């Protein structure tokens, strides 16, 4: 996992470093110079313009300029505070104007040259990724020690290009926010043992209502495809299940969600996809009676309404989009999605998965994991039901709720990489899951030779 640091945390880490500032600047500048040479494919005959600001970002750029000059690159340093309207022509512009230290809108000079940004394209808020002015579009951004939220949120992904993270010797082990990569998934999701039986990873899905049977099917099938050994699907009031997955066990539940006997046999609960109008008291009662971890999604969240205190221990995962977050908290998430999600997790005593282009997953203890694997193809009806099913299966396998939620978000995002660029529907997503999970190293073959 890749550490993520806010500007305030970065300032504390810089201040605590035993290394002198000029040593750190030297390392950063050298890393920028290497990235420039790599981007240019060499130094001979190349021209570079460095737009350098007054702070540490500008210092990194000036050191990079010195290194490039030593390698034979014709380099011009332009003061960001006294820059012309248009930069001189070059093979590459290095944006070292302000990085994460900007506190006011910035309108950079125009250029038709490709841009490499130092730490963050100048004009982006390092905490939120919100554009302040008109940031340049970088083909590559070189950043140090840890990713910044501005790389991942708001307008950041549109302006940063490829982000290259460089270690310059700063200690970031105290950070409590990390970006989960696809290569991390296998370590977060327990494999099913060779001698597994179906009840060890059984998942109960309470979902669906007249006209919304599809949501229940999508969640149940995703749970099956993600490793739940047994899936029971209960539609409140005994709704008809048209074309339900053959392997799903259908067992209706009363409309008031009175739980049946034998709940202790299930390792996880998914409650809410397409559930229709049910009372918040019914949802809370079922949640309190279920002994294991639970996912509350969709109409289950709508039924809960405003949450102003702990639901139960940290084994509940709430999966709101922005509108549901507003109904649960009284306000939509602001530009600082990290802080808002973390605060709600602490207040609710639940793991909170806030959906978005970069998904934020926060635990009640303040830890945060991020997922940024998906794209706009996930913005389709029923996609969230598939996510709920994947998450339910990962919980049923025994994953920690925070890690299960983050892994599910990453896997959910990766499914679209297997699919066409347009016309994707939610029913396409679960078909990719078995092969995808296998490639990620989940449930590697444990068979020996005959």
Predicted local confidence at residue 448, as pLDDT: 41
Q: Give me the tens of pLDDT residue by residue for the chain, a chain 450 residues long.
A: 999 999 999 999 999 999 999 999 999 999 999 999 999 999 999 999 999 999 999 999 999 999 999 999 999 999 999 999 999 999 999 999 998 877 788 889 999 999 999 999 999 999 999 998 889 999 999 999 999 999 999 999 999 999 999 999 999 999 999 999 999 999 999 988 787 778 888 999 999 888 788 899 999 999 999 999 899 999 888 655 555 566 777 777 888 888 888 888 999 999 999 988 888 899 999 999 999 999 999 999 999 988 988 888 889 999 999 999 999 999 999 999 999 999 999 999 999 999 999 999 999 999 999 999 998 999 999 999 999 999 999 999 999 999 999 999 999 999 999 899 999 998 899 999 999 999 999 987 554 433
| Shared domain check, 256 and 125 | no
Do residue 226 and residue 204 come from a single domain? Answer: yes
Task: Flag whether 278 is in a domain.
Answer: yes
Task: Give the contacts of 158 (CB within 8 A, at least 6 positions apart).
Answer: 137
pTM of the complete model = 0.93
Query: 138: domain CATH number?
Result: 3.40.50.10260
Same domain? For 406 and 308 the reply is: yes
From CA 390, how far away is CA 429, in angstroms rounded? 11
Burial level of 68, CB count in 10 A (0-12/13-18/19+)? buried
201 token code pair: 């990873």
> Is 444 a domain residue?
no
Strands 249-250 and 140-144 turn out to be unpaired
Query: What is residue 193's predicted lDDT score, i.e. its pLDDT?
Result: 79
Instruction: Please report whether residue 176 resides in a domain.
Output: no
Q: Are residues 93 and 188 in the same domain?
A: no
The residue to which tokens 């970031």 are assigned? 172
Number of domains forming the structure of the chain: 2
Q: pLDDT value at position 394? A: 97
Q: How far is CA 60 from the centre of its chain?
A: 29
Taking the CB of residue 236, how many other CB atoms lie within 10 A of it?
20
Length of the chain: 450
Q: Which string of b and e fits 125-154 if b means at least 16 CB within 10 Å?
A: bbbbbbbbeebbebebbbbbbbbbbbbbbb
**Do 137 and 186 have their domain in common?**
no
Residue 248 in contact with residue 232, Cβ under 8 Å? yes
- Please tell me the predicted confidence (pLDDT) of residue 449: 37
Domain boundary, last residue among 171, 206, 241: 171
Please indicate, yes or no, whether residues 371 and 405 belong to a single structural domain of this protein: yes
Secondary structure percentages of the chain, helix, strand, coil, to 5:
40, 20, 45
The beta-strand segments (E) located in 101-158 are 115-118, 140-144
Give the integer Cα–Cα distance in Å for 23 and 174.
Answer: 22
Q: In terms of domains, do 246 and 145 share one?
A: no
Is 263 inside any structural domain? Answer: yes
Are both 190 and 97 inside the same structural domain?
no
Reading the block at residue 59, the tokens are 């210092």
Distance (Å, whole) CA 155 – CA 146: 19
Instruction: Give the CA count within 13 Å in the CB-facing half-sphere of 234.
Output: 23
One domain, residues 405 and 428: yes
Q: Are residues 90 and 187 in the same domain?
A: no
Give the end of a domain, one of 138, 171, 204. 171
Note whether 142 and 202 are same-domain residues.
no
* Rounded distance between C-alpha atoms, residue 112 and residue 233, angstroms: 58
| CATH number, residue 395 | 3.40.1190.20
In a domain, 445, yes or no: no
In a domain, 21, yes or no: yes
Please indicate, yes or no, if residue 33 is contained in any of the structural domains: yes
Among residues 171, 194, 229, the one where a domain terminates is 171
pLDDT for the residue numbered 313: 80
Residue range of the domain that includes 120: 2-171
Q: Is residue 449 part of a domain?
A: no
Q: What 3-state class would DSSP assign to 135?
A: coil
Instruction: Determine contact, residues 209/303, Cβ cutoff 8 Å.
Output: no
User: Contact, 120 vs 100, CB < 8 A?
Assistant: yes
What is the torsional sign of CA 424, 426, 428, 432?
A: positive
Q: Please check whether residues 242 and 144 belong to one and the same domain.
A: no
């Amino acid at each position: 996992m890749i550490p993520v640091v806010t500007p305030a945390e970065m300032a504390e880490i810089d201040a605590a470093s035993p290394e002198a500032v000029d040593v750190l600047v030297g390392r950063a500048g050298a890393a920028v110079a290497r990235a420039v040479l790599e981007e240019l494919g060499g130094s001979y005959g190349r021209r570079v313009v460095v737009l350098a600001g007054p702070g540490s970002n500008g210092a990194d750029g000036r050191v990079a300029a010195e290194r490039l000059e030593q390698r034979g690159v014709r380099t011009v340093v332009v003061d960001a505070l006294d820059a012309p309207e248009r930069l001189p022509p070059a093979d590459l512009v290095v944006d070292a104007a302000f990085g994460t230290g900007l506190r006011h809108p910035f309108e950079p000079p125009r250029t038709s040259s490709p841009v490499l940004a130092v730490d963050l394209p100048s004009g982006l808020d390092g905490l939120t990724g919100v554009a302040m002015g008109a940031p340049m579009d970088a083909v590559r951004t070189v950043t140090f020690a840890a990713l910044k939220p501005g790389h991942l949120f708001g307008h950041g992904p549109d302006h940063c290009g490829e982000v290259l993270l460089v270690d310059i010797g700063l200690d970031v082990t105290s950070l409590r926010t990390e970006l989960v990569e696809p290569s991390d998934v296998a370590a977060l999701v327990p494999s099913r043992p060779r001698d597994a039986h179906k009840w060890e990873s059984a998942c109960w899905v309470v979902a669906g209502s007249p006209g919304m049977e599809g949501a229940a099917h999508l969640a149940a099938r995703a749970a099956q495809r993600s490793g739940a050994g047994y899936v029971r699907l209960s539609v409140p009031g005994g709704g008809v299940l048209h074309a339900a997955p053959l392997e799903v066990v259908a067992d209706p539940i009363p409309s008031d969600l009175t739980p049946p006997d034998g709940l202790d046999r299930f390792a996880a609960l998914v409650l809410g996809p397409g559930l229709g109008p049910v009372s918040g008291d019914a949802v809370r009662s079922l949640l309190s009676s279920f002994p294991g971890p639970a996912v509350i999604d969709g109409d289950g969240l709508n039924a809960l309404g405003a949450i102003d205190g702990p639901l139960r221990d940290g084994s509940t995962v709430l999966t709101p989009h922005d509108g549901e977050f507003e109904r649960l908290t009284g306000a939509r998430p602001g530009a600082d999605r990290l802080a808002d999600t973390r605060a709600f997790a602490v207040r609710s005593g639940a793991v909170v998965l806030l959906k978005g282009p970069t998904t934020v997953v926060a635990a009640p203890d303040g830890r945060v994991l991020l997922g940024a694997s998906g794209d706009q193809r996930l913005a389709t009806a029923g996609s969230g039901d598939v996510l709920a099913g994947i998450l339910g299966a990962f919980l049923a396998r025994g994953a920690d709720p925070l890690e299960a939620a983050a892994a599910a978000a990453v896997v959910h995002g990766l499914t679209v990489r297997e699919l066409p660029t347009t016309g994707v529907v939610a029913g396409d997503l679960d078909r990719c899951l078995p092969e995808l999970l296998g490639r990620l190293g989940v449930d590697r073959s444990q068979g020996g030779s005959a």
